[in-house]
Structure 1
Amino acid sequence: MESEVINIKNKKWYKNKKFYIILGIFFIGLIIYNLINKANQDPQYETVKVMKGTLIQTVDATGNVESADELDLRFETVGKITKIYKKVNDEVKAGEIIMSLDLTELGARVSQAQAGLSRSQANLDKLLAGQTDQYLISLESKLDQAAASYEQVKAQYDNYLNEAESVVKTAEVNLNLAEGGEDSQIVKDAYNSTIALLNTVQYVLGNGLTESDNILGIDNTLANDEFEDVLAALDSSKLNQAESRYYTAKSTKYDADEIINQLTVDSSHEKVDWALVVSKDALFDMKNLLFTVSEVLDNTMPIGNLTQSGLTVLKNNIQNVRGSVSLQYSNLINQEQLVNNAKNSFSTYKIAYDKAVANLENLKIKREADLAAAQAIVDQAQASYTDAKNPPRIEDVLSYQAVVKESEANLIQAQANYNKALVRAYVDGVIGKINGKVGQYVTSQDVVAKLISPHFEIKVDIPETDIVKISLHNTATIKLDAYGDEINFTGIVSEIEKGETVIQDVTYYKVTVSLNELSEKEILNGMTADVIFFTAEEKDVIYIPLRTVFNRNDGSKYVRVLEDGKVKEKEIITGLRGDGGLIEVKSGLNEGQEVILSVNE
C-alpha cells in the first residue's frame, strides 16, 4: 500500500498574527510601567549658579567696506561754540579736539559726579571696614546730644506755654475792661489822658505866643526896643507876614484856652473831641507863626545894640519853641488815634483774645509735633549707634553697592554729555573746512567742520530696537571675511543717520563706522565686514540666564529657587541685558546661589 506523504510548509514568523498581539501587549505594559514609575518619582530640576563678573552688551551688523575721503563733523548737542582749536589745513590725529561748546556747566557736572562716586565708594569702604572706636564714641555723643536736645525742646515749650497762657489772661482782662463801649474804663482813661495833654498844649501855645511877641513887640511893645529898627532889614515883607500870623495864632490860641479851661474829668466826650480839634488848629497856626518869626530873624542883621550872640539866642529860643509845638501837635494826633482805638477796643481786644487763645492751642499742637520730631532724632541716633556696634548687614552692603553703581552710571553719563560738546577727529587727516565760528549757536544737525582723510568706512543697517544703544564715538570691533575670525580690526562710529529706512516692514537706521587703518593687513574696497558695537559694559556684577527670569502682571520680576526641596519665587531687580542671553541682577540674589533653569516632570 502506497503511503501518502503530506508536506506541511511552515509559515514565516513575521507573518504570524499571534506574534504581533504578544508584542503589542508587551509595549503597552512597558508604557504603563513607565508612567507608574514616573508618577512615583519627584520632579527633576535643572539649575544654574548665579555668576559674578563682567557683563558686555554688543550689537552685531554686517556691511561692506567702502572708500571715503571726507568726513562731516558735528556736535552731538546744541549750544554756542566757545573755542576752535584747529584751522584749515591743520593735520590732526584721531581723537584730537577740533572745537568745543561751553564746557563750564558740563565740566562741573563731571566733577560733581566724580565727587559723588568717591563719596559713595568711601561710604561703602567705611561700611565694610566697620566702625572705629572713635566713631562709636561720636555716635554715642550724638545720642546724648539728641536726648539733651529733646529735654531742651521740652523745657522751651514749657516756657512758651506759660507765656502764651499769660497773654491769654492779659487779653481776657483787657476784654473785660473794654466792655461797655463809650462808658468803658479804657475809653474813660483815654479821654482823661487827652485832657491832661490839652493842658500841656495850652501851656506850649502860651509860651509860643510870648516868645514871638518878645521879638515882634506887638502886645509887649517894649520887648524889642533894642533891635526893632533892624528886624527883617533884609526883607521887610517877612516882618509884615509875621505880624499877620501873630494875630491869627493869638486868636486860635484864645479859642483853645476858652474850651480847655472848661474841661474836667466829667466833661462830655464830644466836648473833649471838640477841644482836640480846636487845639490842633491853634498848634497849626502857632507852627506857621514861629516859622515866619524864624524867617524874620534870618533876615535880621546884628547891627547896633543887637549883637551876633544876642541874635543867636533869639533864634535858639524860637527854634526850641518850634520843637515843642511840633511835638505837641504830633502828640495830639497820636492821642486822637488812641481815643479812637479805645472806642474800638472791645472788638480789637476780642480779636486779640481769640488770637491769643488760638496761638495757645497752636503752640500745644506744635509742641507735640516738635517733641515727636526730637524723639525721632533720639530714636535715629539710638539706631545708628546700635547698628554701628553690629557688623554690616548684607542688605546694607547691597544698598551701598547699588549707590556706587548708580554713582558710576552718573559719572559715565556726565562724561558722555561732556564729550557731546566736543568735536574730535575720528581718524587721522587734514582739516578741510571750518564752518563754525566762536559765539555761533549750533545744533546737532549743523556740519561745523570737514575732515579730509583717505580712509575706509562701513555702513550698516541697525534695527530700531538696537539703534538707541549706539552713540557717536562708540568703538567697534570689525571682522573681515577675507581674514577670518582670528584677525580683528577696530573702528569708531562717525555718523548715525536720523532718517529711517524700511526693509521688509522693519525700520532700520544707517550707521557709519570709520576704520582705524593702523593695521598692517591690506583692506580693499567691497570686503564683507561683520561689525560688533560695544554698547555697554558692567564690571564686577552678578548675572543669570535671561530665561530663568519671569515677569508678573505688575511689572515686577522673579526667579525660582529651591529651598528645603520646595520651589519658591524670589523677587529680583534686573539691570543690563548682556550678550549670550545673560542679564544683570541688581538685587535679590547673591553670587553662588542656584536658580531653576528648567523642570523635568
Structure 2
Amino acid sequence: MFHVPQFWKKSKVISYLQTHKLMSISLALILVFGGIAFAKQGTTTSLSDTPEIPKVSLLSLSSVGENQVAAVASGEIESLQQVTLSSEVFGKVASVYVHIGDHVSAGQRLVQFSAADKAAQRTQVQAEYESALAAKQSLLAQIDVAKANHEKLKITVQSSITTAESTLRTAENNLQQIVNTNSNAIVDDSYADMTQTVQSVQNSFVDLLVVADTILGIDNLSVNDGFEAVLGISDQGSLSTARQNYYVAKQSKNTFLENMTGFSSVSSHSTIDATAVSATQTLSHYATLFSSLTTLLDHTPAVGNLTQATLTTLISSVNAGRSEITTQQTALTNATQAIATAKKSFASQQIAYEKAVQDLADTKAKAVADIAASEAGLRQLASTLDSQDANIKRAGGSVAVVNAELAKSSIRTPIAGVVANIAVKQGELVSNGAVVADIVNTTGLQVTAFVPASALSVLSVGGLVRVEGTPVGKILRIAPSVNNTTKKVEVVVSIDDSDDRSFVVGQFVTLEMLAHVDDMMSPTLLVPLKAVQVTAESHSVYIVQDGHIVAVPVETGQLIGDKIEIVSDLSGYDAIVSSVRGIEEGDAVSIIE
C-alpha cells in the first residue's frame, strides 16, 4: 500500500484524496510507475557515461632478445661460382653427356668433339718420344761405367794424398809450426815461460825496494827515525854506499817498469828478450843493493833505540831479500837457456817439415791432373746426355701439344655445380669460341643489399640473416664506407643452401638482418620506438601490474630505423607494453591474449 508521510495529513490535498479514493489510487500508480521509469532512465544514463577500459598487447622481452631485426633489405641472389665454357676448336659434336639441371662434379666431361686425326697424330709422336727415352737409357749405362772408373781413380789418388799428408803431419808434430810465425810451439812455450818469470821478477822488485827503504828511510823518511842515527856507526862509508846503491836499483827498476808497459804473453819474441835482459840487469843492481845492506847492518850495533830484536829482524829481512834475488836470477837464467835449446831444435824440424810440404804438393798436383782428365770424359758424356734430354724434351713437347689439342676436344667443368645451359647438340658443327655450356655452383649463393648506416652499430660480420623468413644467411662482408647519396651501406650476405631449399640464382629475396648482441657488455634490447614513452625529462616503458599501467624508467641508446636501443637492464621483467600510445601511467587496462 502506498503510505503518505505524516506531514501531509493535515493538508487539504490529503483531505481531498481521502475523500476521492479512486483518484488517489490512480495518482499513486502514476507516481510509482513514473518513479520506476525515472530510475531506469537514470541507470541507463549512468552506464553510458562509464569509460571503456583500454586493451593493450605485451611484447615478450625474451623474444625481442633472440630475434631483433636490425635492418630489412632486398636483393638478387647471385652465385659465388659460375663459369661459361666455350669451344676451343672448330669441329663436330660427337656426344653430349649432360642435360640442363644435372648436378656435375669438378672435372666431369660434358661434351665431346670428334678428334680421330689428333688421336693418330698422338700415336706417332708418342712412339718418337719413347725411342728418345730408350736412347737416353743406353747413354746412361755408359755414364755409369765412366763414373765407376772415376770413383776408383779418386780412391787411388786420395790414398797417395793421405800417405803424403801423414808424412806431413809427422813433420808438423815435430815442428809444431804456428801459422804466420817464424817459430814453433816449443819455442813459443819457452817464451811463455819467460814471460811468467819476468812478471814474477816485476812483482818482487816493488817488495824488495820497500824492504831496503825500511832500513834506509830514503822514500819514507820517517820509517827509520828510531835507529837512523846508529846505522853504520862503526863504518860511515857503508851507509853512504848502501844509499847510493838504493838510488841505482830504484832507477833500474823504473827503467824495467817502462819496458814492461804493454808487456804480455802475446808480445813479440824480441820484446820478451829485451825485457828479460832489463830484468837481469835490475836483479843485478838489487843484488848489489842488498849486499851493501848486509855490510851496513854488520856495522850497526844494537844501541840506543835500536834493540837487538829490531836489528835481528832487519838482518832477517835483508837475508830473505837476497835469497829472493838469487831465486829470480836463477829462474831468468833457466828461462833463457830453455829458449836457446828450443830454437836449436826448431831449425832441424823446419827442414823436415818443408820437405814434407813439397812432397804433398807434388802428390796433389798429380792427383788434380788425373782427376781433371777423368772429369773431362764425364763432361763429354754429360754434354751428350744434355743433347739427348733436349731430344726427349722436344718429343715430349710434341706429345704435350697433341694431348692439349685432344684435351680441347673434351669440354669439362672446372667446378662442381648444376648445368644451367647446354648450347650444343650431338652432330652439330661448332665454331671456335662458341658457348657450349654454363655451370652454376648453387651451394655457394650470396645477396648484395643496402642497409641504413644507423643499423651498423648492431650488425657484424657473421651475424644471422633470415632469407624469406628462413635463418639460412650470414653477413659475409660490410662495406667500410657509407654512400653519401643514399646514406646506406653495402652488405653482402652468404646463403647456406645445403638443404636443397628453393633459392635460385636471379631470385629477388627479402633479408631480415638480426642484431648482433652476443658481444655487448650490457643487456641491450632493440624494441619498437612506439613501445617507449619519450618526454623531455625522461624515457620509460610500460608494464602491467594488477591490471594497471606502471612506468619503468629506462636509458635509451641509438635510434635504428623504427626501433630504439634500451640500454637499461630489464632482465627483471618478462614483457612490456608493445605501444604506449593513448595510455598513461596508472591507467587500468586489459591484456590482449
Q: Give the TM-score normalised by structure 2.
A: 0.29
Structure of higher CA gyration radius: 2
Greater relative CO (CA pairs within 8 A, separation 6+): 1
